[in-house]
Amino acid sequence: MLTQIESARQGIITPQMQIVADNEQLSAEYIRQMTAEGKIVIPWNHNRKPSRIAGIGKGLSTKVNASIGTSSDIVDYAAEVRKALAAQESGADTLMELSVGGDLDRVRREVIAAVDLPVGNVPLYQAFCEAARKYGDPNKLDEELLFDLIEKQCADGMAFMAVHCGINLCTIERLRKQGYRYGGLVSKGGVSMVAWMIANNRENPLYEKFDRVASILKKYDTVLSLGNGLRAGAIHDSSDRAQIQELIFNCELAEIGRDMGCQMLVEGPGHVPLDEIEGNIQLQKRMSGGAPYYMLGPIATDVAPGFDHITAAIGAAQSSRFGADLICYITPAEHLALPNEDDVRMGVKAAKVAAYIGDMNKYPEKGRQRDKEMSKARRDLKWERQFELALYPEDARAIRASRTPEDEDTCTMCGDFCASRGAGKMFAGDLKGDKIKLVKSATVRFQAEIK
């Protein structure tokens, strides 16, 4: 069975490509061409066909991923399903199931069955969990167990999979020579693989046998997302030599995977100050031949725990603007606790707003019409039209309804001093339904009416 990229290279427009084209209001031929070049990926799986299709890559709207999953402290399968549904209802385009506590097969399968979204995961999590349970030591993980687990998870229907292939002896040596890190290693999969390699004095089998990894994922048409296990966990570690070394390897592997007929994503970079975001994206795009870029966050400051959904949204808007293709949301619980349903909703919505802002600037010709329509609706005090245009209408309605104004034309922010209502007395005319003009002497008449 052909993968999306293999079909595209043979000139075939798959049903999934057509759906992406329709959703994005682009030609199906454009989607096919970009998929053939590896610049667009479509998370998919031959064993599970998600009803919501998300195209990720060049020329497409920036997508948002939500991550859920149990921890060693909190295992509640029903809660994870509720969080998955909350993410879907809030507008997430993809979902990652990242559990490390409880029955990992159960939670993965229950989440997949509950949602319509493409679902991804990180196979190293379960691999090291099972090694710890079986042998009492995660560093005794057998590589055959790891490859068997990747196969099993793909068979369950994983549409994309973050696999830490770019960590190798070279990247570890680069980290050693660098000699320091302010934030250490913050990737669970990354630090576990580094510890395994050091304990066993061996190369990372995911790098050493990359062709085997890609072959398994290609069999199911699962997108291979090249994880960044050495990503920065502090802005002062951003763009350091270890991180860039791993990015170089991941970009090389993206090219190899594409040549094998496997859809490829590249991940990066974690915590990063705003002035480095554009350069990071340009570097990835240049080195990977335009592979779609999956940005984790990025968190733009380290000092706002409890508000990291905001710090990440600021970084995400910049990332989207400069060409990132998929954003991983951050919740208010980041660095503090396992997210709950409310955290998930807030994280998704913040990331979706950020992605929209980025797209407005990435695609200004088609990305700002909605804002113009909203401006006119506000000017004309057309509240229902404002709600129609809002990214989250029900949230907007709820806030307005909770503080009902005396005059339904206004809101309680200004009441009798509503600027828009006042301006309506000062302006008149409608040029093609778009522009208005100042009425002569209107200011004098308006001031008289106030008195």
How confident is the model over 4-57, as pLDDT tens digits? 999 999 999 999 999 999 999 999 999 999 999 999 999 999 999 878 999 999
Residue 432 has pLDDT above 80, yes or no: no
Q: Can you spell out the DSSP letters for 289-351?
A: TS--EEEEEEE--SS-TT-HHHHHHHHHHHHHHHT--EEE---TTTTTS---HHHHHHHHHHH
So what's the pLDDT on residue 364? Answer: 86
- Strands of 153-262, DSSP E: 160-163, 223-226
Residue 127 has pLDDT above 50, yes or no: yes
Average pLDDT on 324-353 reads: 98
Strand pairing class (119-121; 94-97): parallel
Residue 144 has pLDDT above 70, yes or no: yes
Distance of alpha carbon 79 from its chain centroid, rounded? 22
């994206």: which residue's tokens? 281
So what's the pLDDT on residue 444? Answer: 45
Q: Which of 11, 47, 17, 21 is closest to 222 using CA atoms?
A: 47
What phi, psi does 19 have (nearest 5°)? -65, -45
Residue 451 has pLDDT above 60, yes or no: no
Average pLDDT on 153-167 reads: 98
Residue 59 has pLDDT above 70, yes or no: yes
Q: Which of 199, 186, 185, 216 is closest to 135 using CA atoms?
A: 199
Decide if 213 contacts 165 (C-beta within 8 A): yes
Query: Above pLDDT 90, what percent of the chain?
Result: 87
Q: Assign 448 a pLDDT band (cuts: 50, 70, 90).
A: very low
Burial of 420 (0-12, 13-18, 19+ CB in 10 A): middle
Q: What DSSP state is assigned to residue 234?
A: S
Q: Assign 341 a pLDDT band (cuts: 50, 70, 90).
A: very high
Residue 445 has pLDDT above 50, yes or no: no
The CA distance from 113 to 342, in Å, is: 22
Q: Assign 213 a pLDDT band (cuts: 50, 70, 90).
A: very high
CATH numbers and ranges of domains, the chain: 4-363 (3.20.20.540), 368-450 (no CATH)
Task: Give the Cβ contact number of residue 2 at 10 Å.
Answer: 15
Which range (235-239, 255-259, 404-408) has the least confidence? 404-408
Computed over every residue of the chain, the mean pLDDT equals 93
19-to-181, 406, 427 alpha-carbon distances in Å: 44, 46, 44
The CA distance from 343 to 411, in Å, is: 28
The CA distance from 123 to 131, in Å, is: 13
So what's the pLDDT on residue 431? Answer: 43
Decide if 331 contacts 339 (C-beta within 8 A): yes
How confident is the model over 399-429, as pLDDT tens digits? 999 998 888 888 989 888 888 876 666 665 5
How confident is the model over 346-356, as pLDDT tens digits? 999 999 999 99
Cross-strand partners of 162: 225
pTM for the whole structure: 0.93
